[in-house]
Amino acid sequence: MKWVISLFLLTMPLVLFSQNNFYILRAEVSDEQTDMPLPEAAVAVKEIGKHFISDQSGLIRMALVPGDYTLITTHDDYVLGIKKIVVTSDSTFTIKLKPFDKSVVIEEVTVVENMPLKSNRIETGLELLSSVSISSIPAIAGEKDIVKSLALKPGMQIASEGVSRLIVRGGNPDQNLFLLNGLPIFQTNHFFSFLSVVNPMLIDQVEVYKSGFPAHYGGRVSSVIDMEVKTPGMDRVHGEGDIGLLSAKAMVSVPLIKNKLAVMASARRTYLDLLGRAIIDQLEDLNFSYTDFSFSANWNLSDKNKITFFNYYSRDDFTLNYDEEYTGVPLSDNGKSWDNLLSGIQWRYAHGRFSNELKAGYSGNNTNRGVAYGTDTLAMYEKLFYSRLQNFILTDRINFDFSNRIKLDAGLQIEEVQLAPASVNYTGIDSSWTQQRISEGRFESGAVWASVNYEGIKFRAQAGLRGSLYLYNGLARFIAEPRVNLQYFLSKNSSIKTSYSRISQPLHLLSNTGLGLPVDLWIGLSEKRKPMVSNQWAAGYYMNFPVKGRRFEISFEGFYKTTENLLCYRDGFSSHIFTTANYSGEPNYLDEVTADGHGKSYGIEFLFEKLEGDFTGWVSYTLSKSLHSFKDFENGKWFNSPYDRPHNLSVVGSYILGKGWDVNFSFSLLSGQPFTVPVAVYPTYSFNILTSEPLPPFSNTIYINSERNGFRLKTFHKLDIGVRKQLKGKRNYSHWLELSVYNVYNRANSTYGYIDPYREGRLNVVSVSIFPIIPSVSYGFRF
């Protein structure tokens, strides 16, 4: 008893008169409806610019000095919560979140994305884009687009207006590895390249690596666009949808066994064809559609074991039916279709400091182009061109943390690629035959990698080595790909980074230049055709800082990149040579119609971004140069690559007006697309030998072209604006109306250009613009 009294006397003064310069707060974050604790909720204290993350019990402990504070709480699938507190003593309070989506804006609440800052990441050339950012950028006809959103970031651009072909640091569009849940996508576009193939509703976060590639990435030399699909909600049914001018899309996730097993499905389809045919008679013969579906399932077997299944399918169809009136034959179809199929299963095991991911997947791409004549009951003949690619992938990746500072990432990947780049199939009444126009078979590749990450107080390093082995036609080629990223912190929030990476690409994409039905042929390797290899050096300065509790980020980055073994068509050749039959029956020799060369690009990139607050957005500017050299063109001299755009400026903003209104805008300014034009012409006047009448001028003209890509189409610039109004919703249901205007001041930007020798009796460069001002409206909902 004595010691109890002693202890009481000892501590009593402290109990009665304690007054401190800070207080400890205990916040319990939970679901408003179920009272279930919410782990991994982020609570930002505005006044000190700091985030706290709730533990497995939904608890957060923080210490604050006396005063008024605003707590902004975010959590996936929950409405952002704002709570004002006055700290005068130690206390416990609760933060209850409504199950909703974080992008929903209620009253005058600011969207705070819980995105990691790129200045805190070790990789150079990293860009991060969240689903919130994608949804806040205005788009053509209201169709949100991942690729076009990415093109507003530094070092990235689209090939030409309205086209969803991404150019990264002067590289070709095929040099970008698009990964959807870790599986590569080969055909990345819908709707003749005007839309990217991935439904943005499906995406949770996009990470883009333009340099400083981690060792587990390989296979493309310009960039990696790693798109992470949303995880199905394990707690309740979630869904969202959008109805726009071009298409309707929807997504729903359903928990089958609560907190154990959930599935998610999404779909998108255009109704442009249905609407068009209903409104315009002339469109009855035109059938055009694009659609995509996805299905995924997440199964939490235990705390340590998780299985994920993912499936994605996309398809475009274009058919034009001619009747007898036009063609003189009973019926004819002229059409094209292309599709992607992705399927994969992943088992993830994580225990303590060790984790293992075993993944098996398939990615296939088909392109068909055909013409058929006949009647409804009798086919006279059908000619079909098709291109196939099938990719089977098996990957195992392990991560082991030796300590909090030293971490290992290692693994191996085995791939088989089966190629049929160009085949023509003829089916007639009395005969049928198939020609393989490019004699490509298959090749196997394997890669092993190991990378060590070191995280010091001031210094961080990531050093890795990837070994890629390509086996084809009895040949083997091994390429060692070292990757190094270094980061040194000058202060708590600023750092300098540098990187070197070497990366190889076995597949080449032969593309026609200009607009039209896309005929892209993926081709493999031969004795002459080697894998593309790129070496890239990058260095930069990165800083983030709070201003009145709002986080800003600034980065400057320079790069120098060389690429070997580029491939393109020789002058005078195009995909036409492969898409039509050769009556000799012999395949074309690919190496005779293609030329190989090398490229280099260099530049500096600047980004200033405001990440938090009522107003968020960024300004990015890139000054760069991209050059090619082919020994078959210009005597091997360097010339502008088709994607050289020296100046690239983007300004993107999103402002929350309050009461459910918000305004978004994006402005782009881009140097004109390089273009080759004739600088001299030798007109020859010919006569018809039968009638002796003169043929039109320039009918047999000899052109002397300028330096390759020596001229440019006019400078591209445009402004898009969108306004969104949050409509009055119900519990667990929100909906909104969005009005957007594409190309607000109706700038006639060049989508492509061509030479017209017949206009006004002289040569003309004709710039074609196909996107005037386009207002659109869409309706979206979420539950």
Partner 1 sequence: MVVSAMLIFVGCAMPYRTINPVSAFTGQTVNENKTGVVITCSDIDIVSAQNKWLAKKLWRNEMIFVPVKVQNNSDSSFTLSVRTLEFINDYTPVEMLESSRYQKVLGQKYWGNLLLLPVVMATSYYTETSESPEGIQLSRNGFRLNFWSGAIALLGIVNTTRTILVNQKTKKHILQNDLYLKTVQPGSKVCGFICIKADKLNSPMVRIRNIKQK
Q: Quick check: 93 binds partner 1 (CB under 8 A)?
A: no
688 binds partner 1 (CB under 8 A): no
Q: Per CB under 8 A, does 12 bind partner 1?
A: yes
* Binding status of residue 1 toward partner 1 by CB under 8 A: no
When the beta carbons of 91 and 375 are compared against partner 1, the nearer one is 91
Of 69 and 665, CB closest to partner 1: 69
Chain positions 164 to 203 lying near partner 1, rule: CB under 8 A, are none
Q: Report the residue number, 57 or 259, with the smaller CB distance to partner 1.
A: 57
Residue 20 interacting with partner 1 (CB under 8 A): yes
Q: Is 52 in the site for partner 1 (CB under 8 A)?
A: yes
In the numeric block, which tokens belong to residue 48? 């000190």
Residues between 486 and 505 that touch partner 1 (CB under 8 A): 492
Q: Which is nearer to partner 1, 302 or 404 (CB)?
A: 404
Query: Is the Cβ of residue 45 or residue 229 nearer to partner 1 in the bound state?
Result: 45
Q: Is residue 156 within 8 Å of residue 167, measured between CB atoms?
A: yes
- The reply on whether position 405 binds partner 1 by CB under 8 A is yes
Closer to partner 1 by CB, 459 or 589: give it.
Answer: 459
Q: Does 8 bind partner 1 (CB under 8 A)?
A: yes
Long-range contacts of 456-462 (CB under 8 A, 24+ apart): 456/405, 457/489, 458/488, 458/489, 459/486, 459/487, 459/488, 459/489, 460/122, 460/485, 460/486, 460/487, 460/488, 460/489, 461/122, 461/485, 461/486, 461/487, 462/122, 462/123, 462/214, 462/486
Choice between 489 and 559, CB closer to partner 1: 489
- Candidates 155, 141, 157, 133; CA nearest to 668 is 157
Q: What backbone torsions phi and psi does residue 230 show, to the nearest 5 degrees? A: -60, 145
Q: Who contacts 399 (Cβ-Cβ below 8 Å, separation ≥6)?
A: 354, 355, 356, 407, 408, 409
Establish if 9 lies at the interface with partner 1 (CB under 8 A): yes
Please identify, among the stretches 19-27, 268-276, 516-524, 695-703, the one whose residues bind partner 1 according to the rule CB under 8 A: 19-27
Nearer to partner 1, 43 or 224 (CB): 43
Is 770 exposed, middle or buried, given 0-12, 13-18 or 19+ CB atoms closer than 10 A?
middle
Contact criterion met (CB below 8 Å) for 579 and 593 = no
Q: Which two tokens stand for residue 168?
A: 């990264």
What whole-number distance in Å separates Cα of residue 208 and Cα of residue 645? Answer: 20
- Give the DSSP H/E element, type plus range, for residue 70: strand 67-74
Q: Which is nearer to partner 1, 60 or 590 (CB)?
A: 60
Give the Cα separation of 735 and 461 in Å (integer): 46
Of the candidate residues 56, 88, 282, 403, the single one contacting partner 1 (CB under 8 A): 403
Nearer to partner 1, 19 or 282 (CB): 19
Q: Which stretch binds partner 1 (CB under 8 A): 20-28, 170-178, 480-488, 495-503?
A: 20-28
Q: What is the 3-state secondary structure (H, E, C) of 34-60?
A: CCCECCCCEEEECCCCEEEECCCCCEE
Contact 104, 78 (CB under 8 A): no
Residue 461 binding partner 1, by CB under 8 A: no
Binding span for partner 1 by CB under 8 A among 58-66, 474-482, 582-590, 707-715: 58-66
Question: If binding is defined by CB under 8 A, does position 585 make contact with partner 1?
Answer: no
Instruction: Give me the least distance between CB of 62 and partner 1, in Å please.
Output: 5
Report the residue number, 8 or 754, with the smaller CB distance to partner 1: 8
Q: Phi, psi (5° rounding) for residue 780?
A: -125, 155
Name which position in 29, 43, 45, 521 contacts partner 1 (CB under 8 A): 45
The set of residues, in sequence order, having a beta carbon less than 8 Å from that of 728 and lying 6+ positions away, is none
Please choose, from the candidates 619, 624, 621, the residue with its C-alpha nearest in 3D space to the C-alpha of residue 609: 619
What torsion do the CA atoms of 669, 673, 678, 679 make, to the nearest 10 degrees?
A: 40
Nearest residue (CB) to partner 1, 32 versus 55: 55
24 binds partner 1 (CB under 8 A): yes
User: Interface with partner 1 includes 13 (CB under 8 A)?
Assistant: yes
CB-nearer residue toward partner 1: 49 or 678: 49
Rounded to the nearest 10°, the torsion over CA 345, 350, 355, 357 is 0
β 189-190/195-196 pair status? antiparallel
Residues 6+ apart with CB under 8 A from 377: none
282 is a site residue for partner 1 (CB under 8 A)? no
Question: Residue 484 CB, nearest distance to partner 1 (Å)?
Answer: 22
Tell me the closest approach of the beta carbon of residue 350 to partner 1, in angstroms.
22
Q: Is 328 helix (H, G, I), strand (E, B) or coil?
A: coil
Find the shortest distance in angstroms from Cβ 496 to partner 1: 19
- The residue among 114 and 705 lying less far from partner 1, judged by its C-beta, is 114
Q: What is the spatial distance between Cα 386 and Cα 371, in angstroms, rounded to a whole number?
A: 12
Least CB distance from residue 303 to partner 1, whole Å? 25
Closest approach of partner 1 to the CB of residue 354, in Å: 20
Contact between 50 and partner 1 (CB under 8 A)?
Answer: yes
User: Does 18 sit near partner 1 (CB under 8 A)?
Assistant: yes
CA atoms within 13 A on the CB side of 3: 0
Q: Give residues 502-531 in contact with partner 1 (rule: CB under 8 A).
A: none
Q: How far is the CB of 48 from partner 1 (least distance, A)?
A: 7
| Amino acid, single-letter form, for residue 727 | L
The reply on whether position 86 binds partner 1 by CB under 8 A is: no
* Amino acid identity, position 615: F
- Of the two residues 406 and 414, which places its CB atom closer to partner 1 in the complex? 406
Task: State the minimum distance, in angstroms, from the CB of residue 401 to partner 1.
Answer: 13
Residue 748's closest CA among 705, 782, 718? Answer: 718
Q: With CB under 8 A as the contact rule, which of the stretches 397-405, 503-511, 525-533, 561-569 interacts with partner 1?
A: 397-405
Binding partner 1 by CB under 8 A: which of 17, 583, 682, 745? 17
Would you tell me which residues interact with partner 1 (CB under 8 A)? 8-15, 17-22, 24, 45, 48, 50, 52, 61-64, 90, 403-405, 456-457, 492
